[in-house]
């Protein structure tokens, strides 16, 4: 039996436009380039005793955007300015960029889970009071979905499983090898970087679905 893909996509988009919360819909959060800092690097960049200033809460509990913005530089010596710092502080600093950013900076970051920075690309961060050069710490974040414990049960997945996701944006797209992160404090959301989101025509709040192959 032939499947009318266009009709299915049109029906899904119409349901989403009407605010439908059909079972399986996962909201999308688009992640622009950003920086996570250790307290030691915060003080190097902003001065002794400096503390980050929360600006806006993010979707995941306890995470927030800070007022602070910094400049990052790679071997090209072409800077990217006004890169947002996210809090709270971490044990090690990390810079997350897109593949497009990597071409401008002339760095070669691996695609990694956030926090997995061993052997990743070097990068320099410039602040108002100092400079930090990371020997490793620049990555492209992998595609992933945050889920609560109840979400994991509902979708039949567990922490660190990998799934396939369909997006019905301006260009129907299938994302493979999407990591699932399950934790009691997480809220349901799929995180994509700007390259992936733009390619699929997705926006913050767009819905995607886990595909049963």
What total of structural domains would you count in the chain? 2
Domain endpoint, select from 141, 160, 189: 141
Handedness of CA 14, 16, 19, 25 (dihedral sign): positive
E-strand spans in 3-147? 25-31, 34-38, 54-57, 64-73, 80-90, 94-96, 111-112, 121-126, 131-141, 144-147
Same domain, 114 and 190: no
Q: pTM for this structure?
A: 0.85
Same domain, 112 and 164: no
Question: What is the domain-level CATH number for residue 169?
Answer: 2.40.40.20
Q: Which helix (H) or strand (E) holds 199?
A: helix 194-200
Domain endpoint, select from 141, 159, 191: 141
Domain endpoint, select from 141, 163, 183: 141
Q: pLDDT tens digits, residue range 138-192?
A: 999 999 999 999 999 999 999 999 999 999 878 899 999 999 999 999 999 999 9
Q: Which residues of the chain have pLDDT under 70?
A: 1-24, 213
**Cβ–Cβ < 8 Å for 131, 92:** no
Same domain, 173 and 85: no
Residues 6 or more apart in contact with residue 10 via CB below 8 angstroms: none
**Cβ–Cβ < 8 Å for 200, 178:** no
Same domain, 78 and 127: yes
Predicted confidence at residue 170, as pLDDT, reads 84
Instruction: State how far the Cα of 176 lies from the Cα of 143, in Å rounded to an integer.
Output: 9
**Degrees (nearest 5) of the Cα angle 32, 79, 119?**
70
Same domain, 40 and 121: yes
Domain of 166?
Answer: 5-30+143-210
Same domain, 136 and 114: yes
Predicted confidence at residue 2, as pLDDT, reads 52
Same domain, 48 and 134: yes
Same domain, 136 and 155: no
Same domain, 177 and 119: no
CA dihedral of 183, 186, 187, 189, whole degrees rounded to 10: -80
Name the phi and psi angles at 87, rounded to 5: -115, 170
Predicted confidence at residue 24, as pLDDT, reads 62
Same domain, 122 and 170: no
Closest by Cα among 117, 104, 109, 112 to 71: 104
Closest by Cα among 72, 60, 134 to 98: 72
In the chain, the largest separation of any two C-alpha atoms, in whole Å, equals: 68
Three-class secondary structure of residue 101 per DSSP: helix
Predicted confidence at residue 213, as pLDDT, reads 61
Same domain, 136 and 150: no
| Cα distance between the two ends of the chain | 17
Three-class secondary structure of residue 15 per DSSP: helix
Reduced DSSP (H G I as helix, E B as strand, rest coil) percent helix, strand, coil of the chain, to 5:
20, 40, 40
Same domain, 158 and 105: no
Predicted confidence at residue 169, as pLDDT, reads 77
């Amino acid at each position: 039996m032939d499947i009318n893909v266009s009709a299915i996509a049109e029906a899904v988009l119409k349901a989403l436009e009407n605010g439908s919360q059909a079972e399986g819909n996962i909201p999308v959060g688009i992640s622009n380039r950003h920086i996570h800092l250790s307290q030691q690097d915060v003080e190097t960049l902003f001065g002794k005793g400096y503390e980050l200033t929360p600006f806006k809460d993010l979707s995941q509990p306890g995470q927030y955007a800070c007022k602070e913005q910094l400049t990052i530089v790679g071997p090209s010596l072409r800077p990217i300015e006004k890169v947002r710092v996210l809090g709270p502080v971490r044990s090690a600093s990390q810079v997350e960029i897109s593949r497009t950013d990597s071409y401008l900076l002339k760095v070669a970051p691996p695609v990694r889970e956030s926090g997995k920075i061993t052997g990743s690309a070097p990068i320099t961060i410039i602040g108002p009071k100092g400079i930090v050069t990371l020997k490793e710490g620049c990555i492209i974040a992998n595609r992933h979905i945050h889920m609560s414990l109840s979400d994991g049960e509902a979708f039949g997945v567990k922490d660190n499983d990998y799934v396939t996701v369909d997006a019905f944006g301006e260009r129907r797209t299938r994302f493979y090898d999407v990591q699932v992160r399950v934790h009691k404090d997480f809220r349901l959301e799929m995180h994509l970087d700007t390259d992936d989101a733009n390619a699929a025509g997705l926006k913050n709040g767009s819905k995607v679905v886990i595909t049963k192959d």
